[in-house]
Structure 1
């Protein structure tokens, strides 16, 4: 079978699942909170007088909880299948995100803690609607062009970055920041959930690519315990930590950062849209390159791009073209990083325990993406400028990309598990 025929075969069988997955990622808990919370800073300062650090702390709450729960939700997807985990979590995420609109209007001390508690609920429920779940199914449908398929799947975050900031600004300006949460929650509830219900599923055993199966038809791969004894697991973990710590705060604080430099809210929203285009390009280009070249040759140069973004953002003022370029390069590298987490998990550790291992590698992404925004905000609150943390971020991006050069070649095969891993809710293997 020729390369083009294999491409058509994989995509002809899996395109509806991929389409549903793109919408699930776009409307899930991975992009939506990060794309809206930055625009709540100014209205919440005006209403409550809270500091930037206090206002952005919920994204840390959400991220830390989600990161700690990622291995658990990944193991549920391994055991019971992706469909149940992804769709139920998508429903819970939409409802809990909408509930943030119920934050009290009174300027009481308890209001801040109620607001935080609502974000706790989002973190507890939403993680199953992130790529931790959706990417497992795509890895099971695609092998020959897995990198491109994962790139397309993760375009969902690009779509969110393009659409959601403008939707959030419009909702805040016309209805208020509380109502904005309810309006944005319609995306998972009214779009992704019904489409996912009708289209999204894992492949049946006979539909899986033969390359991910043993002779007996079982998925192959190492266990989480074996993976965690492999130095490559920790190199990937460390790389993700460096990149996420540098990226998360720059992304979340971008609207406030641009406001400090004289850009209006609509211009900042346009920059965030350009950032989304960068993520879009990064997803596709990185995915296509991963199918053709070893990851180190792809990852290192692409993950150095946001260092230039941080350099462009230094200083007291910025013109829109420079801001747009900084946003695009930052987004491009973010697209590359998210592709790499899913791709490297499958290539270095196999599919038998993919959910658990991906969940553990998602943990530094969630943790440091969550801690980074309040670190950026705290630096701004205490020094009056984002420049000190942007200067450090330049080194974080370069170090994080360089670590991946140490991983070495992909394994040629994996051990076969003793038993099929996916069971139904009664515990019967499927």
Structure 2
């Protein structure tokens, strides 16, 4: 067994892996956070409805939901490095291929099906499993930094897309973001990203046999499926994902349809990404130091406040800014909380399969959320009903974390197979 490292030593050894994973994670989030900016140009050019445009992310999320557990089993067996590199390279090209849209809805659907299948290879479960395999004492903060990639995407994807669309048109924007963002990610992931399995293979003595399996402590899949704490974490993630994804995808439009100019609405919506980054890092740092229900509860309850402020009961720009930042903070903190607590209450033995299943629950919500938001807007002409539903749902999700109890201590799996 490798000697246990302190949090400082873990960071000194593996910070390049965290950096590379963070940028890789940022590209994974681009498909979601850029859509709100592309909706306007595509709607004008092809006459598609908000529901039709939102269907792409529903397909993307649906594939992630169904494929998550299978990818989790795969990465538990072979590690995360090779599949992440392949996923980034292929999806960068597919994202650029959205520039070829010609108005046929089947093409929109086909591109999202293709993107969704290969995006399974570099979704948050992959990066989370890789980071968790090389961090123990500093795991929460390491996960927070990695997951901050989603906040980077949330902040800069709409800004970059809006600038490129205004300067060159939406077709060039798809090409530039797809090839450029994925290309930068690969330039970091290929030389810097090494999970536990890749690290063993990299440092092995030439011509010496590698261990057949690296077994880490934690629950079996069967045990996790009966553990009430793991189930509650998954349920909270599902509830927050349904409302969070619907609001996030349409956030630019939610703000702009209150009378705020489009460019200003994009800037305000981008604040959600900044707040999400703060949420991930702050909560990530605290979770390594503090255990209890208050922090997870608060991280989700802040989102409920944000949705309430966006209902439209308050005039002026300030409530919109505060609401957007609360929603962004909860989005960042929520993913961090769910990922970290899953690793603590389920352990690392089958983390890929277990968190892959939780991630699938989240993607089930993400598959339905944007479509539901589009349907509400098409039916009512506004997003007020959406926010009126989102606020109490987020509060319910917050209560799922009350009373989880202390982290379990798992037996060394080597003792089981001795």
Using the size of structure 2 for normalisation, the TM-score is: 0.91
Residues 316/261 of structure 1: CA separation in 2 closer, same or farther (3 Å cut): farther
Q: Residues 232 and 414 from structure 1, CA distance in 2 versus in 1: closer, same or farther, beyond 3 angstroms?
A: farther
Q: CA deviation at 1:188?
A: 4.0
State whether structure 2 residue 152 is matched by structure 1 residue 159. yes
Shift of 1:46: 1.2
Q: 1:233 Cα shift?
A: 2.3
Q: Distance in 2 between matches of 1:62 and 1:418?
A: 42
1:219-258: CA deviation from partner (whole Å, max 9, x where unpaired): 1112212211222222112111111112111111111111
Q: Give, in whole Å, the separation in 2 of the partners of 1:217 and 1:64.
A: 31
> Of 98, 101, 115, which residue of structure 2 is paired with 1:100?
98
Which residue is equivalent to 1:377? Answer: 374
Q: Secondary structure at the match of 1:126?
A: helix
Instruction: Tell me if structure 2 keeps the 8 A contact 1:222–1:415.
Output: no
Select the residue among 392, 397, 409 that pairs with 1:395: 392
Cα pair distance change 1:363/1:98, threshold 3 Å = same
Distance 2:17 2:150 in 1: 17
Structure 1 residue 300 and structure 2 residue 333: aligned? no
- Indicate conservation of the 8 Å contact 2:255/2:269, yes or no: no
Change in Cα spacing, 1:38 to 1:414, as seen in structure 2 (3 Å) is farther
The answer to whether structure 1 residue 53 and structure 2 residue 51 are counterparts is yes
What SS is found at the alignment partner of 2:413? Answer: coil
Which residue is equivalent to 2:282?
285
**Distance in 2 between the 1:189 and 1:246 partners?**
28
**Cα 1:156–1:295, aligned 2, differ >3 Å: closer, same or farther?**
farther
Using the TM superposition, name which of 123-132 and 196-205 deviates more: 196-205
1:200 is aligned, of 189, 193, 198, to 193
* 1:178 CA drift (Å): 2.6
Distance in 1, matches of 2:232 and 2:214, equals 31
1:65 matched residue in structure 2? 63
Q: Who is 1:88 aligned against?
A: 86
For these two proteins, the number of residue pairs brought into alignment is: 402
| Partner of residue 21, structure 1 | 21
Q: How do residues 23-422 of structure 1 correspond to structure 2 at under 5 angstroms?
A: 23-28=23-28, 31-104=29-102, 107=103, 111-203=104-196, 204=199, 218-315=215-312, 318-414=315-411, 416=413
User: Deviation string for 1:138-172 (max 9, x for gaps)?
Assistant: 11121112111111111111111221111000111
Change (3 A) 1:417 1:100: farther
Instruction: Give the match for residue 423 of structure 1.
Output: none
Q: Supply the distance in 1 between the matched residues of 2:363 and 2:292 (Cα, whole angstroms).
A: 22
Alpha carbons 1:235, 1:403 under 8 Å: kept:
yes
Displacement after TM superposition at 1:282 (Å)? 0.3
SS in 2 for 1:243: helix
Q: CA deviation at 1:308?
A: 1.6
Unaligned runs of 5+ in 1: 209-215, 421-430
How far, CA to CA, are the matches of 2:346 and 2:117 in structure 1? 27
Quote the RMSD (CA, aligned, Å): 2.2
1:93-139 deviations in Å (ceiling 9; x for gaps): 111111111111xx5xxx01111111110101112212211111211
